[in-house]
Amino acid sequence: MAFFKKKPKLIDDIPLGVAWVTKNLNASGYRADGTIESLKEVDRFINDEHRPGGVLDGKMGSIVFGLGCYIGQVIIDAVGGHWVTDDNDPRGELTIAVDLSDGSTIWPVMRVVKRIKEGPENAIYPYALGVTRGTQ
């Protein structure tokens, strides 16, 4: 009788992504303490590493996922909400969402992609401030 390993679920990967990003940002000199203020450090990290030869140069799948998990969890911790995942979506790592306590939905991984592609005018910290102020 063959035993098959259960396919991992996205919801189980989120806390791993949060822990991985927290550990690596802190080890690299950024302050990742789970506060809204720490999202300034996420912006600083993206500014520092989105360059030729930087960590975000072409190989950013797991890093982007982890950053999005961190951002989403910081916002959940600040204002309440819960993760929404779809393991059947082939782009599920990108489309994980957070349903906030006020009924609105955000897509933190997609926000990281937008920040990287479109630049500082799409900074994470001001976005999170707007989201969290809107739910209080």
CATH number of the domain located at residue range(s) 10-134 in this protein: 1.20.120.1090
pLDDT attached to residue 26: 98
In the chain, which residues have pLDDT < 50? 1
Q: Which helix (H) or strand (E) holds 130?
A: helix 124-134
pLDDT at 123: 97
pLDDT value of residue 113:
95
Distances, alpha carbon 29 to alpha carbons 23, 32, 44, 69, 92, in Å: 10, 9, 11, 20, 30
Please state the pTM of the whole predicted model: 0.91
Residue boundaries of the structural domains of the chain: 10-134
For residue 103, the model assigns a pLDDT of 93
pLDDT score for 135: 59
